[in-house]
Structure 1
């Protein structure tokens, strides 16, 4: 969660609102792809330790400011909310989790057609 807070703070330091917003979104997606435990942290509802609650507060405040800045600059639609991005983050985390099982299945050789095994997915 500290990495999320740091990413938000770095994005807010970017003078161009859209560049900062975009950098934050891409950074968060990369972090999720690289760390499955992070996906759990984003999608599970668990009582937060005080330090974790403080980090979440920093992340949420940073995200709200990133959205506001990008909207004020005219680069982000006015109907986008920080909640939209929180929902997207959670969905992205769940998609990554759901994709692990099919990936294991795909690793097994199988024959689906007349060509070599596995030629037709």
Structure 2
């Protein structure tokens, strides 16, 4: 009889699941989250029905594949709060997010999705969002971040950065550094030109959802 790991999945079943997750992480990193379950199954060397027996939907697969990374995202935001210089903490966090995005095309897309079935994922993302709000307030209080900056502007940065990464190939790292340089100058106080009103949280969320509406299932 096959052994069970801590009363959970049998050892061979757990290994098979991890193999599927590893394949999904590779495909998502290289191509983003628009890939189909069939493409993930092909990369893992299994049939699509086999993949779907373990993960009922692509959302369930994405949630488990990115659980560890969203925890790192939260930890990075919390670690940035420990910097004595609020502006350095804020900008170093944004640079770290951009670096993560350079090696994983699915990263920014993953941050715009919700996975109510994955409590670990959602808890990690809420931790990160709370820390980001505090990073923003610290930088504003220090007089280094423009007063009209909002957390949704970080989503804007990541989406813009994703386009640059996707379109610049081998020069992605250099283009990334240039874009971040411009954006961080724009974010800095006092802000040379007033910005148009920012979209609301609900409007931002609806716009992000539309990015996934046409993705293959």
* Aligned residue runs from structure 1 range 43-54, under 5 A: 43=112, 45-48=113-116, 49-54=118-123
The total of aligned residue pairs comes to 100
Structure 1 unaligned runs (5+)?
105-121
SS at match of 1:13: coil
Structure 2 unaligned runs (5+)?
1-69, 171-217
Does the CA contact (< 8 Å) of 1:42 and 1:90 recur in 2?
A: no
| Larger RCO: 1 or 2 (CA < 8 Å, sep 6+) | 1
For residues 51 and 94 of structure 1, do their structure 2 counterparts lie closer, same or farther at Cα, with a shift above 3 Å needed? farther
Find the partner of 1:4 among 55, 68, 73.
Answer: 73
What does the per-residue CA deviation read over 1:3-51, in whole Å, with 9 as the maximum and x for residues that have no partner? 21111011001111011001101111011111223233134x3534111
Counterpart Cα distance in 1 of 2:86 and 2:126: 21
* Aligned residue runs from structure 1 range 1-121, under 5 A: 1-43=70-112, 45-48=113-116, 49-97=118-166, 99=167, 103=169
SS at match of 1:41: helix
Deviation of 1:94 after TM superposition, in Å, equals: 4.0
Deviation of 1:91 after TM superposition, in Å, equals: 3.0
Equivalent residue number for residue 118 of structure 1 = none
Counterpart Cα distance in 2 of 1:33 and 1:92: 9
CA RMSD of aligned residues (A): 2.0
Q: TM-score, normalised by structure 1?
A: 0.73
